[in-house]
Structure 1
Amino acid sequence: MSAGAKVAHVETIAAATQALRAGQGADLMLVDYDLDIAALIAANEAERIRVPVVACGVGSDPQRAGDAIRAGAKEFIPLPPEAELIAAVLAAVSDDNRPLVARDPAMEAVLKLADQIAPSDASILITGESGVGKEVMARYVHTKSRRANKPFISVNCAAIPENLLESELFGHEKGAFTGAVARRIGKFEEASGGTLLLDEISEMDGRLQAKLLRALQEREIDRVGGGKPVKVDIRVLATSNRDLVQAVKDGIFREDLLYRLNVVNLRLPPLRERPGDVTALAEHFVKKYAAANGMPERPLSADAKRRLATHRWPGNVRELENAMHRAVLLSTGPEIEEFAIRLPDGQPMSGAAPEAAVARTASMAAEAASRNFVGSTVAEVEQQLILDTLSHCLGNRTHAANILGISIRTLRNKLKEYSEAGVSVPAPQGGLGANAA
C-alpha cells in the first residue's frame, strides 16, 4: 500500500467473484493456498473475468505451493510476508511498469499536445500503427488528468467476441441470457469517475457503435436485460491502427461516432519516424529485462546501437521490446553485443541495404514466389500467406492482421475455417506482444 497499491479484502472465493462481478475491479488477486484456487479461476473465467492470481500461505508447504501453481496461480509468496518480496512479486505479475519514454522531437511534440489536453474531459482518439504504444499513451493521458486517482479501465474490442462485447461494456442483469447467473457490472460502470479506454475500436460492429454513441451523448448506459438506464461519469479514450475516415467511407464505421470520439487526435509516429527514441527505449527495456531475469544490467555496445539505428522496426516499439528481451538473455560479455540483437526466428538482424540490393532481392523473391504459386488456387495462396504472416508475428493476431491489411475479425474467421479443415494454425506465443486467439 505504501507503494501505491489499493487493497480490498474478502473471506471466500465466492465473495471474490461477487466483488469482481459487482465492478470492484482488480489488477491482481492474492489468494491463500488453503482455498480452492482452481475453482476461483474457473468461476471468474466463466464470466470472462480475467485477473491474475498469486498464491500465498503460512508454512511454505512445497506440495501445496506446487498445487496452487498447477491450479493456475502465477506465483507463490510465503507468509508472513517480507515487504520487499511481496512488492517485487506483485509488481512483476501485474506488469504495470510501462513508462512513456520519448526523446525524439516528433514524439515530444505529441507529448506536449497530450499534456495540454489531458486535464480536460474531451474524448481523444489515439492512432498509429500496431505496436507504437497507443495504450501506453492512453495511460499517460489518464495520469495527467483530473481523474488520475480514479480507475483506468481498458477494453480490447478486437479480442472479445462480437456477441460478448456488449455485455462486457455495458453489463447485464441476472437471466438476461443463458449463463447470466447474476448481475454483472460492465466496464462503463466499473470505470465511472475515471477513464475508459476502447482499444482497437474500429473492430466494433455497427449495432454496438450506435449504443456507444448514445452512451457518450447521454452519459448513461443500458445493461443487457436492464429496465432502466444507468448514469455514468467517464472520460472515453479510443485507439485504432486503421484509417477511420476510410472506414467511414467504406460504411463500416459511423461518421457521427468518429466525430464524437475524435475531439482531439493524438497520432503516434511509427518508430522509424522517431529515430531519437530507439536507443532510449532500448536502454529502458535492457534495464527492465535484466531486473526481471535476475541478471546484471549491461550497457549497449556501440555496434549494437548502430545495428538498432539501421533496422526499420516494422513491429515498432513492441518489436524493439521483444528484441531487447532476447538480447539480454543472449549476451555473454560485459556489454549487450551486436550478435545478440536477433529477429524472432533467431537470425541476425540485418542493417539497411542499399536501394539497388533491396530491389534486386525483391525481384528475386517475387520470381521465386510466382514459381511456387503456379498451379495453386487463389484460396490456397491466401491461406499460405496468412499462415506465413502469422508465423512471422509469433502468433500475434493483431499484428498479423495489420500487416495483411485485414480486420482482426476477418483473420479470426479465416483461422477458424483453417482449423476446422484440420490445418495447423500457429498459436499465440507467450510473452510480450502475444494476444488471445
Structure 2
Amino acid sequence: MRLLIVGGLGGQLAIASKMAMDRGASVTHADGVEMALKILRSGKGADLLMVDVGQPIAELVRRLEMEMIHVPIVACGTATNARAAVDAIRAGAKEYIPLPPDPELIAAVLSAVAEDAKDLIVRDDAMARVVRLADQVAASEASILITGESGTGKEVLARHVHRKSARANKPFIAVNCAAIPDNLLESELFGHEKGAFTGAIARRVGKFEEADGGTLLLDEISEMDFRLQSKLLRAIQERVIDRVGGTKPVPVDIRIIATSNRTLADEVRKGTFREDLLYRLNVVNLKIPPLRERPADIIALAEFFAEKYAKANGMKPKPIGHDARRELVRNRWPGNVRELENCMHRAVLLAMTDEIDADAIRTPDGVKLGEANGPVAGTPATPGGYDQTVRRAAETAEAVTRALVGRTVADVERDLILSTLDHCLGNRTHAANILGISIRTLRNKLKEYSDDGIAVPPPGGAERDVA
C-alpha cells in the first residue's frame, strides 16, 4: 500500500501518517500539488492520496484528470471544518477523514483502498489444483497467463502469485487493457516525454517503470491493439522500453502476468493477437474454472461476502439459511465470483429475519433466485405443472417474436446491448463477454448511441476510475 500525503505534516496529519506506516503503508510526503504531481509522474506512484483540505483539491483533481493519472483522493481536516469537508467531496475526494485521526478509521480506509479483503478462498478441488500450480511457479521469473471467464478472480490469483514471489516487497501494478482507449494505452504503459503529443505537459513515467523490480499485471490483454502488441513483445524480450517521444531505451526489471477471458489461440487464428507474443506470455497457463464448476467454493465465498458487507454496512453478520444455500449452489453464476459478491451484498441488505433466507437471495432486477432458476432438478412438479410451464414459455416466446416484428435489426441490437449493460451494472468488460463481442466493438456502439442522444449507463465497478 503506497500512500502519498499532500500538505503540511505538522500536528494531526503527521499522526495520521504514522498510523498508516504502523499498518504497513509506504508513506511519501509532498508539500503541495506541484510536488505531488512530480512524484506521481516520476514512477514512484501511489495507491492513495491523503490531502489536507487546505490544499486546492479541485485543482489537483483537474490536473490528475488532464494527465490521465488515476488515483483515489481522501481529504483530511479538523472535525469542526464541515464546510471544507463538503467542498472536498464535491471537488472529487472519495472520503473525508476528520482530524485528530481515529486509528480504526485510518485502518478501514487503507484496507478499502488496498483491497486486502481479496484473499483467496478455496474449498473446491478444481480451484485448489490451480492454486497449487500457482504456488509452484510463483517463485520463478516465468511469465504467467491467467485465463478464465469474466469475474472468476483472475486478478486475485495474480496478486496471490506476486505475494508468493521473491518480488513480494516490490510494486504490484495492474493495467486494465480493456478499460483504457488504444490511443492512451501506449503512454500509460511506456510513459512519455514532455511535448510528445498534445497534452504531454511534462515527462511521465509509465507502468513498466513504475513496476520496476516488481510485477506488472496486463489485465484483459486480448483487447490490446495489434500495433501496440509489437512494442510490448520487444519490452518483454529485451527488458527495455521506449517512452513515447523518447530517444533512448529505458531498462526495466519486471515480471509479467497477463489475463484474458478469451482463448488467445483463437485470437491468433483470427489475426487479432500476435502468435509470438502469446508464446512469450504463456510460459505457464493458470486456467481458473468458472464458479459453477467449483460448487464447494460457492458457500465459502458467500459466507465471506455476507460477513464482509454486514460489517461494511454496520450490521450484525447473519448466517445463511439452508434454503438460501440450496439456491446459491444450484445457480449458474454467469458472472462468477463478481456476480455472487453483488448478490450477497444485496442479500445482507434485504434479509429481514435472523438469517439470510432464500427470499433475500435475488437477481439485480429483484427476482428471487429460486424463481429465476426454475424448479429444482429432481423435485416433483405439481399436477400439470410441467405442461403449464411449457405453455407459458411458448406463449412468452411468441409474444417476444411478435414484439420484434416491424423493428430494424439495429434497434433490436441497441436494446439488447443496453439491457445487457444495465444488467451488468455498467461493467463494459462483463457485458461484452456476455454479448460475445470485443470491448472495442462495444465501446464503438455505445459512443454511437451517445452521439445519437441515447442515455448510456455509466461505467461500473473498477472501470469507473479509468473510463
Fold in common (TM above 0.5): yes
Bigger shift: residues 147-156 or 74-83: 74-83
Q: Which residue type is aligned with residue 220 of structure 1?
A: V
SS at 1:121 equivalent: coil
Aligned partner of 2:170 in structure 1 is 150
2:70/2:466 contact within 8 Å kept: no
Aligned partner of 2:102 in structure 1 is 82
Instruction: State whether structure 2 residue 221 is matched by structure 1 residue 190.
Output: no
Among candidates 155, 177, 181, match of residue 201 of structure 2: 181
Number of equivalent positions: 436
Separation of aligned partners in 2, 1:263 and 1:361:
51
Separation of aligned partners in 2, 1:100 and 1:215:
31
Aligned partner of 2:439 in structure 1 is 408
Q: Which residue type is aligned with residue 335 of structure 1?
A: E
Q: 1:17 to 1:435 in 2, by over 3 A?
A: closer
Among candidates 273, 280, 299, match of residue 279 of structure 1: 299
Q: 1:198 to 1:379 in 2, by over 3 A?
A: same
How far residue 250 of structure 1 moved from its aligned partner, in angstroms, is: 0.4
1:103/1:276 contact within 8 Å kept: yes
Aligned partner of 2:354 in structure 1 is 334
Instruction: State whether structure 2 residue 132 is matched by structure 1 residue 112.
Output: yes
Among candidates 41, 53, 63, match of residue 43 of structure 1: 63
1:398/1:435 contact within 8 Å kept: no
Instruction: State whether structure 2 residue 130 is matched by structure 1 residue 102.
Output: no
SS at 2:198 equivalent: coil
Q: Which residue type is aligned with residue 206 of structure 1?
A: F
1:33/1:65 contact within 8 Å kept: yes
How far residue 436 of structure 1 moved from its aligned partner, in angstroms, is: 5.5
Bigger shift: residues 309-318 or 333-342: 333-342
**Unaligned regions of 5+ residues in structure 2, if any?**
1-20, 378-385
Return the TM-score normalized by structure 1: 0.96
1:99/1:136 contact within 8 Å kept: yes
1:166/1:224 contact within 8 Å kept: yes
Separation of aligned partners in 2, 1:71 and 1:375:
48
How far residue 434 of structure 1 moved from its aligned partner, in angstroms, is: 6.4
Bigger shift: residues 64-73 or 412-421: 64-73
Separation of aligned partners in 2, 1:60 and 1:52:
24
Aligned partner of 1:254 in structure 2 is 274
Q: Which residue type is aligned with residue 149 of structure 1?
A: N
Aligned partner of 1:379 in structure 2 is 410
Separation of aligned partners in 2, 1:185 and 1:366:
55
SS at 1:280 equivalent: helix
SS at 2:22 equivalent: coil
For each residue in 1:252-311, what CA deviation from the matched residue of structure 2 results, as whole angstroms up to 9, or x when unmatched?
000000010000110100000000000000011011111111111111111111111111
Separation of aligned partners in 2, 1:168 and 1:433:
15
Return the TM-score normalized by structure 2: 0.90
Aligned partner of 2:264 in structure 1 is 244
Aligned partner of 1:204 in structure 2 is 224
Separation of aligned partners in 2, 1:104 and 1:434:
32
How far residue 89 of structure 1 moved from its aligned partner, in angstroms, is: 2.5
Among candidates 284, 289, 295, match of residue 269 of structure 1: 289
Q: 1:435 to 1:17 in 2, by over 3 A?
A: closer
SS at 1:9 equivalent: strand
Q: 1:144 to 1:93 in 2, by over 3 A?
A: closer
Q: Which residue type is aligned with residue 4 of structure 1?
A: G
How far residue 360 of structure 1 moved from its aligned partner, in angstroms, is: 6.8
Q: 1:129 to 1:170 in 2, by over 3 A?
A: same
How far residue 78 of structure 1 moved from its aligned partner, in angstroms, is: 2.1
Separation of aligned partners in 2, 1:56 and 1:302:
45
How far residue 384 of structure 1 moved from its aligned partner, in angstroms, is: 1.9
Aligned partner of 1:61 in structure 2 is 81
**Unaligned regions of 5+ residues in structure 1, if any?**
none
Q: Which residue type is aligned with residue 367 of structure 2?
A: Q
How far residue 71 of structure 1 moved from its aligned partner, in angstroms, is: 1.3
Q: 1:354 to 1:76 in 2, by over 3 A?
A: closer
Q: 1:354 to 1:88 in 2, by over 3 A?
A: closer
Q: 1:299 to 1:207 in 2, by over 3 A?
A: same
Among candidates 309, 324, 331, match of residue 311 of structure 1: 331
Separation of aligned partners in 1, 2:422 and 2:80:
41
Instruction: State whether structure 2 residue 192 is matched by structure 1 residue 172.
Output: yes
Q: Which residue type is aligned with residue 425 of structure 1?
A: V
Instruction: State whether structure 2 residue 389 is matched by structure 1 residue 369.
Output: no
Among candidates 3, 6, 28, match of residue 48 of structure 2: 28
Q: 1:436 to 1:215 in 2, by over 3 A?
A: closer
How far residue 84 of structure 1 moved from its aligned partner, in angstroms, is: 2.4
Aligned partner of 1:394 in structure 2 is 425
Separation of aligned partners in 1, 2:129 and 2:96:
44
Q: 1:282 to 1:212 in 2, by over 3 A?
A: same
Q: Which residue type is aligned with residue 296 of structure 1?
A: K
SS at 1:427 equivalent: coil
SS at 1:7 equivalent: strand
How far residue 363 of structure 1 moved from its aligned partner, in angstroms, is: 5.0
Separation of aligned partners in 2, 1:298 and 1:354:
25
Q: Which residue type is aligned with residue 403 of structure 1?
A: I
Instruction: State whether structure 2 residue 259 is matched by structure 1 residue 228.
Output: no
Instruction: State whether structure 2 residue 367 is matched by structure 1 residue 347.
Output: yes
How far residue 247 of structure 1 moved from its aligned partner, in angstroms, is: 0.5
| CA-based RMSD | 1.8
2:138/2:162 contact within 8 Å kept: yes
Q: 1:20 to 1:371 in 2, by over 3 A?
A: same
Aligned partner of 1:320 in structure 2 is 340
Separation of aligned partners in 2, 1:335 and 1:140:
32
Bigger shift: residues 364-373 or 247-256: 364-373
Separation of aligned partners in 1, 2:402 and 2:140:
58
